[in-house]
Amino acid sequence: MSTTLSNPSSTQAQSAPPPFTTRAGAWLKANLFNSWLSTATTLALLYVIVRSLLAFVDWAFIHAVWSVPYSAQGIADTTVCHNVKGDGACWAIIADKYRLILFGRFPYDEQWRPAIVVFLFIGLYVCSAIRKFWGKGIATKPIILVAVMAALATLVDDALFLLIDIVASLVGRPYTQPPAVLSAVLGYIDLTGRYVFMVATTIIWPMVGVWVITLAAIGVLMSGGVFGLSAVPVDYWGGLPITLILATFGIAIAFPLSILIALGRRSTKMPAVKMLCVLYVELIRGVPLISVLFMASVMFPLFMPPGINVDKLLRAQIAVILFAAAYLAEVVRGGLQALPKGQTEAADALGLAYWQKTGLIILPQALRLVIPPLVNTFIGFFKDTSLVLIIGLFDLLTMGKIALSDPPWQAFSTEVYITLAIIYIMFCYAMSRYSRGLERELNSTQQR
């Protein structure tokens, strides 16, 4: 009898949620001061945190020097900074050098161009992050045909140019331009092809069009030579645009490439392709990025016929793409592996062809599974682009180092590195925030 009586009350007690404390005091007591050990730890940590925070605020703001006087020759007088060294930060170095750090040796009066480029890149990232913008445009057969034809024309045209160059150099003549008429016709086809391709892709898939046009605008702004902009050779590019170019093109091209490699590596019907993909991944993964960059900058030109000069940035870009693709391919393969076999079988049973099955069923699910490691790799490669300093390209980090080589400012590396760190953190944190948002969004609709 007693058990039957006590039963309802005990089940009631079990089913009721534990008392939820909303008051801060109760939370603190429960979590930070619940025993003498935890109280001691809390107090000790609090002391350390407050002390270091105060010290940092003191150094970074209260005792900081924000500007220094300049001599008549324009040389900075950094005695004030030297006097407070150790007690206060010398942010004057940033005020003095920020344009050098951000834009490198780009002609000073033309630096509005790389500045716009940086904003274009950021705008591109923001637009791409809004999934609403990825909607379909108008994709009718004639427009697709026009886009493909234009792309083909441009490619064939470029190939012809390259062929003429190679033949000219192999024949032994000094490197010369092809005949003027041919060159003019080829140039005309090339330009028209590009414009038509851009317009057509924008109609078919607006977001892809936005990318193509923005990247073209970035190219024009950086190198100039058209629309009355003075030409700036790649050797003068530097700072943040170099970092953004290497990272954006690197990831944007390496990612689709990595998907193909991952699919190739899992292919059962094409053993040769599979072998090639395995070989590629293992080879590239087995060597440091620095050595791939060295290969690209030193060895690659040796294999090219004389007279053909692929510029340094492009070579570094290709190296970054090849390297990133190998790593991303393994991440993608992880996602493919994790997908239940039933999904492929169901797609097969419905009669979907290989690319339909892959594009509609397998990849959408596999890529969702690997968003965290994918973004992890993206972030890693964003920072790894700083290794191009080894082959003499002036990315953001390299420009920071160069700024520090100016004699009056040599002692103030901390300030420069903190600034660089903040720039890197902004980009990387944005990526990580976006990926978390994406995961949440996809999970909320899918509810698996």
Partner 1 sequence: MNQITADAPMDTLRDISRGKPVIVLDKVNKWFGSLHVLRDISLSISERERVVVCGPSGSGKSTMIRCINRLESHQEGRILVEGTELTDDLRSLDTIRREVGMVFQSFNLFPHLTILENCTLAPIWVRKMPRAAAEELAMSYLERVKIPEQAKKYPGQLSGGQQQRVAIARALCMKPKIMLFDEPTSALDPEMIKEVLDTMITLAESGMTMVCVTHEMGFARQVADRVVFMDRGEIVESGPPHRMFESPQTERLQLFLSQILRGH
Site for partner 1 contains 54 (CB under 8 A): no
137 scored as a contact of partner 1 (CB under 8 A): no
Could you say whether residue 271 binds partner 1 (CB under 8 A)?
A: no
Cβ proximity to partner 1, 137 vs 307, nearer residue: 137
> Could you tell me the smallest distance in angstroms from the CB atom of residue 374 to partner 1?
16
Question: Is the CB of 229 or the CB of 442 nearer to partner 1?
Answer: 442
Quickly tell me which residue has 């330009």 as its tokens: 191
Within 13 Å, how many C-alpha atoms sit on residue 123's CB side?
14
Binding residue for partner 1 (CB under 8 A) from 11, 356, 410, 414?
356
With CB under 8 A as the contact rule, the residue among 128, 291, 343, 413 that binds partner 1 is 343
The reply to whether 413 sits near partner 1 by the rule CB under 8 A is no
Give the other-Cβ count within 10 Å of 80's Cβ: 15
Size of the site for partner 1 (CB under 8 A): 22
Q: Which stretch binds partner 1 (CB under 8 A): 5-13, 198-206, 228-236, 341-349?
A: 341-349
Q: Which of residues 428-447 bind partner 1 (CB under 8 A)?
A: 445-447
175 vs 425: CA distance, rounded Å? 46
Closest CA to 448 of 342, 335, 439: 439
Residue span binding partner 1 (CB under 8 A) among the ranges 160-168, 169-177, 230-238, 359-367: 359-367
CB-CB neighbours of 382 under 10 Å = 20
User: Please, which residue, 282 or 348, has the CB nearer to partner 1?
Assistant: 348
Stretch that binds partner 1, among 104-112, 208-216, 221-229, 357-365 (CB under 8 A): 357-365
> Among residues 85, 99, 368, 383, which is the contact residue for partner 1, using CB under 8 A?
368
Q: Which residue in the set 360, 418, 425, 426 belongs to the binding site for partner 1 (CB under 8 A)?
A: 360
Question: Pick from 28, 46, 182, 346: which binds partner 1 (CB under 8 A)?
Answer: 346
Q: Is 351 in the site for partner 1 (CB under 8 A)?
A: yes
Interface residues toward partner 1, by CB under 8 A: 340, 342-343, 345-353, 356, 360-361, 364-365, 368, 445-448
